Amino acid sequence: MAGRFEILWEAGTGFLFHLTGGEGAVLAVSRPFATIQDIKAGVEAVRENAATGLVVLHPTSKPMLCPSAGHEGSMSSLEVDIVDGHGMIRECLAGWLEENTEGIRVVGSFSSWAELVPSLDALSDVVIMEVLLGDNTSLTARIQTILAAGHQVVVCSSVTNPAVMRQAFEAGALSYVPKTAPAAVLEAALRAAAAGQAHVTEEVAAAVAVDEPKPKLAPGNLR
């Protein structure tokens, strides 16, 4: 499988890209870029120069240690929780992750924020969260409460408004996965979040880079 450039967006930093190999290992990380146009130009520059670039070893550089044999391509197990008001979504996601990924398993399933709160201290490392849960707790408050309890958040939602996406990132979510995205995007986001890293597709990065007025949704979901 060919390598790929993964564009990430981090609040307070900007756009970054990771160059990953065929097995998903990160081979290189870029400097921050201010806009999506700048980072696309940076990706093109790497594509144009990498194939013919010279390898130069600086005398003061230290050698890099290679991974031990037998561990290449292996994926560690990962337990996640999901909070979504639709039972079918929770069941389908749990089934897909268990059957189509290496070691990702949904161990906690919650239909509402109120149902999740009593289990805050017992949540897994990563929580998959829908934006619209039909309660009076804001998206920012939900994300920051989970972060304060020591867990990471990946938002997976039917809401694709850029202002909502920005609010999720500003609150501390590491990824925002629209429910229209392929399930493999969610898998990549979960693995990145487990490592404390953001994972943002080019489409989401481009969306959050656009200035739009704050959306008007049902009270409680966004504040």
- Chain segment 198-216, per-residue pLDDT in tens: 898 888 988 888 755 554 5
| Identity of the amino acid at 144 | Q
What does the buried/exposed string (b/e) look like for 73-99 if buried means 16 or more CB atoms within 10 Å of the residue's CB? Answer: eeeeebebbbbbeeeebbeebbebbee
Q: Where in the chain is the domain with CATH 3.40.50.2300?
A: 78-208
What's the pLDDT at 202? 86
What does the buried/exposed string (b/e) look like for 180-214 if buried means 16 or more CB atoms within 10 Å of the residue's CB? Answer: ebeeebbbbbbbbbbeebbbbbbebbbbbbeeeee
**Pseudo-torsion of CA 158, 159, 161, 163, nearest 10°?**
-140
What is the pLDDT confidence band of residue 19, given thresholds at 50, 70 and 90? confident
pTM over 0.75: no
Give 4-50's CATH code, choosing from 1.10.3470, 3.30.160, 3.30.470, 2.40.128: 3.30.160
Closest CA relative to residue 147, chosen from 196, 79, 219? 196
Q: What is the pLDDT of residues 150-201, one digit of tens each?
A: 999 999 999 999 999 999 999 999 999 999 998 889 999 999 999 999 898 8
Q: What is the pLDDT of residues 96-136, one digit of tens each?
A: 998 998 889 999 999 999 999 999 999 999 999 999 998 88
What's the pLDDT at 11? 64
What is the pLDDT confidence band of residue 218, given thresholds at 50, 70 and 90? low
Closest CA relative to residue 113, chosen from 152, 138, 83, 141? 83
Helix 139-148 vs helix 162-171: crossing angle, to nearest 10: 30
Give yes or no for residue 222 having a pLDDT over 80: no
CATH homologous superfamily of domain 78-208?
A: Response regulator (3.40.50.2300)
Q: State the chain's maximal CA–CA distance in angstroms.
A: 61
Residue carrying structure tokens 């146009």: 37
Closest CA relative to residue 205, chosen from 30, 80, 48, 23? 30
Q: Which two tokens stand for residue 172?
A: 């501390």
Percentage of the chain exceeding pLDDT 70: 78
Q: Where in the chain is the domain with CATH 3.30.160?
A: 4-50
Whether residue 127 contacts residue 83, with contact meaning beta carbons closer than 8 Å, is answered with yes
Which of the residue ranges 6-10, 12-16, 69-73 would you say has the lowest mean pLDDT? 69-73
- Per DSSP, the chain holds a count of helices (H) and strands (E) of 7, 8
What's the pLDDT at 211? 56
What's the pLDDT at 209? 81
What's the pLDDT at 203? 87
What's the pLDDT at 58? 45
What's the pLDDT at 65? 41
What's the pLDDT at 71? 40
